[in-house]
């Protein structure tokens, strides 16, 4: 077998979306002649923890864990947050909600910790793995970001050993939406752009997750960019029991909802449907699980029709989440209305796709996500502030749910997984694409 060193901050017991891309690739790479070797931090400060994902770690895989120091404990102490509170970039408050101490902390984070707060790990991790590197016989290096500090470790190894290197951009770097929340000076932004360009021109190739994001990266100067999307793991679906059938018409959203994804017309539309249709009101249940901006709950609960209909839950472990998918009647998927949104495809979308339930998605019509939904016939696209279209889509699926509820079964999932337009997004098929790229860039 050839060997690939994967440098990733997120690895079990980390939860959330960042961990699964390379965890799943690592699971299937040996089938295509590649042995993954992992470099990851020891005891990092993960925003969410999900011990169930450890079951996906391939048996016998070599994992190098290097201690890391992160500044979040100082941040929590300075801002007087609970020591158990986990900091999530996705739900940083808007400027008008920040205290003076928070503003100072975010300024320090954006202007002094470049490219991110894991920059302190770069030198230590490089020195740690440099000693092991010659004996590992690595054929190619992969770094995955964010955090984009991982690319800096890979670049040092590439320059030291002249080993080919692919940099994986799961999200943008200088163009990512949350960067603006750190009060960046022009000097700090210039440093970000210089580091980003070094990565883009020194890596043998850039990997990314969507066609439009690939275009954006090429426009920043990357000579070669390949798209390998995220996907779903068939094994996750074929061996899970169904949730008990429920009489509710359940609209489910799993994952992050920040202020940029909190569209009031959604809650207003559901509130109006409850007034207009007592049967809908009787059967409606909304499930919101995962990290949320605190203001979202407050606004929803001001609507009397929704007070008893919306269930708020914390992060759900992935193993349980797969089972939960089966109990949904409709998935709700919300994308930020902001620059570069056209190239953002949430990882959970592919799991929704595999689950075989219809998706009501708020996003741009000219986006990669809309293209896949239309290609697979898996749901309805709702434009921003299109309350009427949202209500029509919900009632369309509600009427179908009442007549076809019995079909919400394991058979529906199996049928979804077998459709060619869906099957190509399975983790195994995507790993085959990745292995082909590795072969073309490897040493031997």
Q: What digits encode the pLDDT tens for the residues 410-437? A: 455 556 666 788 899 999 999 999 999 9
pTM of the model: 0.89
Gap between the Cα atoms of 281 and 248, Å rounded: 10
Environment class of 191 (CB within 10 Å of its CB; exposed 0-12, middle 13-18, buried 19+): middle
Mean pLDDT of 403-415: 53
Task: Report which of 180, 122, 190 is spatially closest to residue 156, judged by C-alpha positions.
Answer: 122
* pLDDT tens-place string over residues 89-113: 444 544 456 778 778 888 888 888 8
Same fold, 2-231+426-441 and 235-423: yes
The pLDDT of residue 82 is above 60: no
pLDDT band with cut points at 50, 70 and 90 for residue 230:
very high
* Nearest Cα to Cα of residue 91 among 11, 17, 20, 177: 177
Tally the residues of the chain.
444
Contact (Cβ atoms closer than 8 angstroms) between residue 317 and residue 52? yes
User: Sign of dihedral through CA atoms 304, 308, 313, 316?
Assistant: negative
- CATH node for 2-231+426-441: 3.40.50.2000
Name the average pLDDT for the chain: 87
With beta carbons less than 8 A apart as the criterion, state whether 209 and 170 touch: yes
pLDDT of residue 143: 98
CA 430/CA 59 separation, integer angstroms: 21
- Which has more confidence, 16 or 204? 204
What is the rounded CA–CA span in Å between residue 231 and residue 21?
8
Query: Whole-angstrom Cα distance, residue 39 to residue 124?
Result: 12
> What pLDDT is stored for residue 80 in this prediction?
54
Cα–Cα distance between 24 and 31 in angstroms, integer?
A: 12
Mean pLDDT for 326-347 is 87
Question: Residue ranges of the domains in the chain?
Answer: 2-231+426-441, 235-423
pLDDT tens sequence across 232-281: 998 887 755 544 456 789 999 998 887 667 688 999 999 999 999 999 99
C-alpha of 372 from chain center: 17
- Per the CB < 8 A criterion, the answer to whether 264 and 387 are in contact is no
Strand order in the sheet with 205-208: 62-67, 34-42, 2-7, 140-145, 165-169, 205-208, 225-227
Instruction: Report pLDDT for 83.
Output: 47
Q: At residue 406, does pLDDT exceed 50?
A: no
Q: Pairing relation of β-strands 310-313 and 205-208?
A: unpaired
In the three-class reduction of DSSP (H, G, I as helix; E, B as strand; rest coil), residue 225 is classed as strand
* 235-423 fold: Rossmann fold (3.40.50)
- 368-374 own/partner pairs: CB under 8 Å, 24+ apart: 368/210, 368/211, 368/212, 368/213, 368/342, 368/343, 368/344, 369/333, 369/335, 369/344, 369/345, 372/345
């Amino acid at each position: 077998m050839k060997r690939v060193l994967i440098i990733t901050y997120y690895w079990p017991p980390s939860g959330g979306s960042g961990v699964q891309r390379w965890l799943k690739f690592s699971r299937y790479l040996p089938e295509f002649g590649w042995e993954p070797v992992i470099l990851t931090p020891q005891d990092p400060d993960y925003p969410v923890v999900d011990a169930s994902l450890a079951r996906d770690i391939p048996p016998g895989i070599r994992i190098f864990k290097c201690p890391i120091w992160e500044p979040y404990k100082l941040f929590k102490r300075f801002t007087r947050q609970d020591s158990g509170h986990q900091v999530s970039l996705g739900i940083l408050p808007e400027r008008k909600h920040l205290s003076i101490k928070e503003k100072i902390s975010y300024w320090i984070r954006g202007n002094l910790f470049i490219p991110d707060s894991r920059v302190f790990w770069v030198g230590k991790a490089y020195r740690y793995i440099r000693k092991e590197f010659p004996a590992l016989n690595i054929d190619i290096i992969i770094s995955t970001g964010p955090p984009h500090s991982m690319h800096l470790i890979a670049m040092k190894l590439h320059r030291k050993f002249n080993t080919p290197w692919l940099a994986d951009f799961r999200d943008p770097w200088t163009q990512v939406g949350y960067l603006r929340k750190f009060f960046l000076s022009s000097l700090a932004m210039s440093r970000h752009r210089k580091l980003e360009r070094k990565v883009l021109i020194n890596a043998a190739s850039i990997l990314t997750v969507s066609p439009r994001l690939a275009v954006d990266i090429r426009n920043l100067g990357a000579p070669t960019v390949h798209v390998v999307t995220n996907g779903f793991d068939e094994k996750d679906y074929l061996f899970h029991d169904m949730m008990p059938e429920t009489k509710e018409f359940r609209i489910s959203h799993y994952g992050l909802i920040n202020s940029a994804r909190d569209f009031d017309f959604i809650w207003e539309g559901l509130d109006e449907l409850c007034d207009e249709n007592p049967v809908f009101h009787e059967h409606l249940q909304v499930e919101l699980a995962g990290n949320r901006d605190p203001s979202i709950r407050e606004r929803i609960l001001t609507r009397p029709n929704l007070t008893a209909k919306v269930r708020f839950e914390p992060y759900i472990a992935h193993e349980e989440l797969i089972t939960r998918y089966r109990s949904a009647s409709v998935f709700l998927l919300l994308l930020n209305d902001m620059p570069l949104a056209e190239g953002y495809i949430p990882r959970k979308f592919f799991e929704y796709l595999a689950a075989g339930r219809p998706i009501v998605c708020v996003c741009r019509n000219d986006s990669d996500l809309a293209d896949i939904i239309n290609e697979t016939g898996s749901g309805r696209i709702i434009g921003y502030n299109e309350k009427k279209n949202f209500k029509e889509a919900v009632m369309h699926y509600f009427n179908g749910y009442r007549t076809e509820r019995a079909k919400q079964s394991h058979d529906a999932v199996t049928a979804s997984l077998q459709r060619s337009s869906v099957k190509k997004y399975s983790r195994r098929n995507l790993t085959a694409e990745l292995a082909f790229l590795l072969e073309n860039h490897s040493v031997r």
